[in-house]
Chain A
Amino acid sequence: MSTFAKTEGRAPRSPPGPDPIITVRHLWKLYGARADSFAKSRATPPGDAEISERHLFAAVRDVSFDVHEGETLVVMGLSGSGKSTLLRCVSNLITPSFGEVVVEGCDLMRASRAELVQLRRYKMGMVFQHYALLPHRTVLENVALPLEIRGEPKASREARALEMIDLVSLSDKAASYPAGLSGGQQQRVGIARSLAVDPDIWFLDEPFSALDPLIRRELQDEFIRLQKIVRKTILFVTHDFDEAIRLANRIAIMQNGRIVQIGTPEELVLHPADDYVASFTEHVNLTQVVTVGSVMVADRGAVAGPGAVRSSARLGDVAEQIMGQSMPVCVIDDGGRPVGTISQQTVLKMLLDRAKTG
């Protein structure tokens, strides 16, 4: 709780959209014998002592965060830390024990079954770790399934499904069965299926964890490309910190059911809240994460010369350019206005820092 407040206090870089699409407040999920009836019987979450006394187990404890429009929030943590449980609480595949989940203004804890079904059919898409493709349906039929479920006529749903299959570059496999596809291809089908209903919110639970490293990387690139096209609000679960850094606008790090820190990759890398977070960040190549803006010396009066660098640029991408100059380089914002300077020493320090540790 305290670390959470700390990161909130540091006011992360303004998220991509202004309005939160997903709001989660003080969310709890208890497991154990009669956990559900116990949760129903009371309004506030139990303390640690009572939890252990009743042999319950809190898979998610007191989690709060927002996801803004068009933002990718990646939930990262070791296996068993409660990531999937959190994701399932937010998508309401399981009912949270305590707390509040609001999705697009709809309070999921109070929504009727029918409202939830409508929400799932029109607003949410989900990708599963093990694909969950139906073996006796072709790729086309698998992708068209969610549309079929919401009652769309055959011609229009197949047209839309083909469009999605095309989007994930599997047009030549539309008539194949899942068994004939590689793991990477199967997950592409899973992605196409989850996008078929054109959801606003996209849930992905370790979608690439079952794949080989090379294929995983390929699909991460695919994901980045797709997100540029479809611009969804995304909750993405992974246990791979590198993946989180590549894909996230913000990352929430989970441990034992709590979020220990939430922030941009840069914030986590530069200011890990505790040793647990640091254990993930310490092997990260700083220059791939840190932007010019976060290490520059602020100075609105700096003179913008021809060699100026943008404050949003990653250090690694502009290091060569800066090091080629003899004087500190001017930093400009996206509008081209000067906001500060960055010295060669700063860049060198960042480059060397990680060379020492790893």
Chain B
Amino acid sequence: MRYRGIALLTALALVALAMQRGLAEGHWALTWPQGWQLPFADWLNAVFRFLSEFEFAGSGTGRDLTRLAVPLFEMPTDLLSNLFFEGFTSGFGANKQVLFPPLSWLALTVGVVLSCYRVGGVKLATLGAATAAYLLVFGLWSSAMLTMAQLAVAVPIGLVVGLLMGVWVWRSPRIRPGVLLALDQLQTIPIFAYLVPVVVFFGLGVAPAIIVTVIFALPTMVRTTVVGLEEAARTTGELAVSIGCNKRQALWKVVLPTAQDMLRVGLNQVVMLSFSSVIIASLVGAGGLGYDVLVALRRLAIGRGLEAGFAITLMAITLNSFLQHYSTGRVAGLAALGSRQFLALIGALVLGLTLLSLVLPWLAVFPEQLVLSTGPFFDNVIEWVNLNLYSITDGVKTALLIYLFLPLKHLLTSLPWLVVVLAVTIAGYLVGGVKRGLFLGGLTLLIAASGLWHKAMLTVYLCAVAVSFSALVGIPTGIWAGRSRNVARIVMPIIDTLQTLPAFVYLIPAIMLFGTGDFPSFVAIVAYSISPAIRYAELGIRTVPEHLREAGVQFGCRPFQRLWMIELPAAAPQILLGLNRTIMLGLSMLIVTALIGTDDLGQETVTALAKVDAGRGLAAGFAVAFIAIIADRLVGGLAERKSQPQRAGMTAAGAD
């Protein structure tokens, strides 16, 4: 079967070659003719125009209605940002009067540290103190407070809405598989693509920023909730019914509490994803730390960008850690105080310090003299790099571009669309049968019909190069780490850190070393996407069942034979899953790198954003999602087959 597949694909390659030689330039089988193009962007725009301009029985157009919702998001955020760093005022200009000052930085810091101490003991308190100190010392306090004010609205919305949707999906077994599948696909659409429609309906500012954040975090929360509830329902079985629970009791007393570990994972995901979307949210007017990074990126202010980017990570880690501890309901410190007394203590301290800040100015604003910046340091570094390393970095860059990137780019972009469609169909068939082949081939055909073919192939090219590199370096590293504890001890913390940094931050060193264009994009994608390749390979090797290993020793395998014949096959499904994740992360990073000048679908979404062309942005977003789906079904399908060889054999034998 495998040989038949190889033979088919080889034949296809020959056909491609023959077509390129034999057919005239512009033949319909080579490039999709203009006249056949389906104007998806126009259609999508028509839908949006209809929705936003449709008159709802005298209550205004769709857009008017959605704009009405804007204050719902803005008011709580304004309230919080007034409280955190702006203060409550009345009047404007010269008549401006301060009604109540913002909470003093010291008051907030003391409050945070004490709360951390109560919830998580000395360790968490140290983390909280370090975060606050970092924000203060690098002069990021007010940006951070603005970000905090928005996330304090976005995170609860994401949690509650996600939980409710999850419960609803879980309760409707008929739609459950469909919804779960759709959620997975939603996650593959780059968030850029959502920005424009959100702007169309909600304008610019805080509200769309919060909505984009929620949209970004929601699918994961829904998914985790559904999976958690399913699992909890399985362990509790018929208990709830047998003791006479009504529907509400069964959910709140039995199933949800049992699912709490999984829900805690959802909480973690929502916090992490919300923080990681602050930079993107700042594209529609969020301000705060995200905006700081964005500005730094545009000005190539390396130091500032890293400072603000790291601040985002630090806050995410601290908040997540706090919530994880808090949600267990345990008290780690100051246990002598009841929770009311504790709140009263915090309230009194915060209020006292804030009132004190009216007379002591250093309590109101963190003293300027103590603020640091790493800007000059990084300027020096860049200067040094440019002076001393330029010849090396440039040499590497040029060599790779000439001998690898450009030829591959040329090859992929010149492939006839017909051949690619056929190749994807055949690959899909080989992996998952006729149905999957036709489905994936259909998706490819849609991309061709959308007129985005060239940009799509550019996307595939850069992603393929970067992901191959990640796999070639990452998988062996993971295998090595899986077999050696010492290596794991060094490698794992590094990739943990790599994974928590917001995607945009990777752009900074890439630009710093390699300027703009394909090569720095490549570097940023590799840095962002290599973690799962390593992590899953390490996991796969580490969890090879001990009895298999013992069997290998018993047969008298030498270490290399054992790796090749026993451990690798056993770990193959995990390794493929890791590869799959790497591709997904690579694609999402690829879109972000549009900001440093690529020419692919990511650029298309960014351009659409600038022109507020929702249809164009979404069409490109869907194209990216299709590519992601195709990769996922091919690689993921391979992983499935590896983990259940018998069943795959049956399918391949023509069961479907």
Rounded to whole angstroms, the CA-CA distance of A135 and B235 in the bound complex is 10
Interface residues on chain B, size class: 10 to 19
Q: For window 250-287 of chain B, which residues contact chain A by CB distance below 8 Å?
A: 253-254, 257-258, 260
Chain-A contact segment, one of B222-230, B237-245, B615-623: B237-245
Q: How many A-B residue pairs have CB under 8 A?
A: 54
Best-buried of B235, B238, B239, B249 by chain A (most CB within 10 Å): B239
Q: Are A137 and B257 in contact, with the CB atoms below 8 A?
A: yes
Interface 1/0 per residue, A265-304 and B, CB below 8 Å: 0000000000000000000000000000000000000000
| CB-CB nearest in chain B for A132 | B239
Q: A93 touches which one: B235, B238, B246, B254 (CB < 8 A)?
A: B238
CB-CB under 8 A from A134, the residues of chain B are 236, 239, 254, 257-258
Rounded to whole angstroms, the CA-CA distance of A116 and B246 in the bound complex is 11
Interface 1/0 per residue, A74-100 and B, CB below 8 Å: 000000000000001001010000000
Q: Are B236 and A117 in contact, with the CB atoms below 8 A?
A: no
Interface 1/0 per residue, A113-136 and B, CB below 8 Å: 000111111001010101010111
Q: Are A136 and B257 in contact, with the CB atoms below 8 A?
A: yes
Given known contacts A128-B239, A130-B237, A132-B236, A118 and B244 CB-to-CB distance under 8 angstroms = yes
Rounded to whole angstroms, the CA-CA distance of A149 and B260 in the bound complex is 19
Q: Are B244 and A121 in contact, with the CB atoms below 8 A?
A: yes
A150 interfacial contact with B, CB 8 Å: yes
| CB-CB nearest in chain B for A93 | B238
Q: How far is the CB of A318 from chain B (nearest CB, A)?
A: 42
Q: Are B238 and A146 in contact, with the CB atoms below 8 A?
A: no
Given known contacts A137-B257, A149-B253, A120 and B235 CB-to-CB distance under 8 angstroms = no
CB-CB under 8 A from B242, the residues of chain A are 91, 93, 120, 124, 126, 203
Q: How far is the CB of B239 from chain A (nearest CB, A)?
A: 4
Rounded to whole angstroms, the CA-CA distance of A126 and B243 in the bound complex is 8
Rounded to whole angstroms, the CA-CA distance of A135 and B242 in the bound complex is 18
Q: Are B257 and A117 in contact, with the CB atoms below 8 A?
A: no
Rounded to whole angstroms, the CA-CA distance of A203 and B246 in the bound complex is 20
Q: Are A149 and B257 in contact, with the CB atoms below 8 A?
A: no
A148 interfacial contact with B, CB 8 Å: yes
Best-buried of A93, A116, A149 by chain B (most CB within 10 Å): A149
A145 interfacial contact with B, CB 8 Å: yes
Rounded to whole angstroms, the CA-CA distance of A145 and B240 in the bound complex is 10
Q: How far is the CB of A103 from chain B (nearest CB, A)?
A: 14
| CB-CB nearest in chain B for A128 | B237
Q: How far is the CB of B636 from chain A (nearest CB, A)?
A: 30
Rounded to whole angstroms, the CA-CA distance of A135 and B261 in the bound complex is 10
CB-CB under 8 A from B239, the residues of chain A are 128, 132, 134
Q: Are B244 and A145 in contact, with the CB atoms below 8 A?
A: no
CB-CB under 8 A from B253, the residues of chain A are 145, 148-149
Q: For window 139-155 of chain A, which residues contact chain B by CB distance below 8 Å?
A: 145-146, 148-150
Q: Are A136 and B243 in contact, with the CB atoms below 8 A?
A: no
Q: Are B244 and A117 in contact, with the CB atoms below 8 A?
A: yes
Q: Are A145 and B241 in contact, with the CB atoms below 8 A?
A: no
| CB-CB nearest in chain A for B240 | A149
Q: How far is the CB of A44 from chain B (nearest CB, A)?
A: 28
Q: Are A128 and B238 in contact, with the CB atoms below 8 A?
A: yes
Q: How far is the CB of A101 from chain B (nearest CB, A)?
A: 15
Q: Are B235 and A149 in contact, with the CB atoms below 8 A?
A: no
Q: A120 touches which one: B237, B241, B257 (CB < 8 A)?
A: B241
Rounded to whole angstroms, the CA-CA distance of A91 and B241 in the bound complex is 10
Q: A149 touches which one: B236, B249, B258 (CB < 8 A)?
A: B249
CB-CB under 8 A from A132, the residues of chain B are 235-239
Q: How far is the CB of B241 from chain A (nearest CB, A)?
A: 6
| CB-CB nearest in chain A for B235 | A132
Rounded to whole angstroms, the CA-CA distance of A203 and B243 in the bound complex is 12
| CB-CB nearest in chain B for A135 | B258
Q: Are B236 and A150 in contact, with the CB atoms below 8 A?
A: no
Best-buried of B236, B241, B244 by chain A (most CB within 10 Å): B244
Q: For window 166-217 of chain A, which residues contact chain B by CB distance below 8 Å?
A: 197, 203
Rounded to whole angstroms, the CA-CA distance of A136 and B328 in the bound complex is 10
Q: For window 48-64 of chain A, which residues contact chain B by CB distance below 8 Å?
A: none
Q: Are A149 and B237 in contact, with the CB atoms below 8 A?
A: no
Q: How far is the CB of A260 from chain B (nearest CB, A)?
A: 27
Q: How far is the CB of A35 from chain B (nearest CB, A)?
A: 17
Rounded to whole angstroms, the CA-CA distance of A124 and B241 in the bound complex is 11
Q: How far is the CB of B72 from chain A (nearest CB, A)?
A: 34
CB-CB under 8 A from B241, the residues of chain A are 93, 120
CB-CB under 8 A from A136, the residues of chain B are 257-258, 260
| CB-CB nearest in chain B for A151 | B249
Q: Are B243 and A121 in contact, with the CB atoms below 8 A?
A: yes
Q: How far is the CB of A119 from chain B (nearest CB, A)?
A: 8
CB-CB under 8 A from A120, the residues of chain B are 241-244
| CB-CB nearest in chain A for B236 | A132
Rounded to whole angstroms, the CA-CA distance of A116 and B241 in the bound complex is 10
CB-CB under 8 A from B258, the residues of chain A are 134-136
Rounded to whole angstroms, the CA-CA distance of A117 and B242 in the bound complex is 9
CB-CB under 8 A from A93, the residues of chain B are 238, 241-242
CB-CB under 8 A from A130, the residues of chain B are 237
Interface 1/0 per residue, B213-235 and A, CB below 8 Å: 00000000000000000000001
CB-CB under 8 A from B257, the residues of chain A are 134, 136-137
Interface 1/0 per residue, B340-371 and A, CB below 8 Å: 00000000000000000000000000000000
Rounded to whole angstroms, the CA-CA distance of A203 and B239 in the bound complex is 12
| CB-CB nearest in chain A for B258 | A134
Q: Are A146 and B237 in contact, with the CB atoms below 8 A?
A: no
Q: For window 558-611 of chain B, which residues contact chain A by CB distance below 8 Å?
A: none
Q: Are B244 and A149 in contact, with the CB atoms below 8 A?
A: yes
Q: Are A145 and B235 in contact, with the CB atoms below 8 A?
A: no
Given known contacts A134-B257, A137-B257, A149 and B238 CB-to-CB distance under 8 angstroms = no
In the complex, besides A118-B244, A132-B238, A146-B244, 7 extra interface pairs with C-beta distance below 8 angstroms are A120-B242, A128-B239, A136-B257, A136-B258, A145-B254, A146-B243, A149-B244
Q: What are the 6 A-B residue pairs with the smallest beta carbon separation, nearest first?
A: A120-B244, A121-B244, A146-B243, A126-B242, A132-B239, A117-B244
Chain A interface (Cβ within 8 Å of chain B)? Answer: 88, 91, 93, 116-121, 124, 126, 128, 130, 132, 134-137, 145-146, 148-150, 197, 203
What are 16 of the A-B contact pairs (CB < 8 Å)?
A93-B238, A117-B244, A117-B246, A120-B244, A121-B244, A126-B242, A128-B238, A132-B236, A132-B238, A134-B239, A135-B258, A145-B253, A146-B243, A149-B245, A150-B244, A197-B243
Chain B interface (Cβ within 8 Å of chain A)? Answer: 235-239, 241-246, 249, 253-254, 257-258, 260
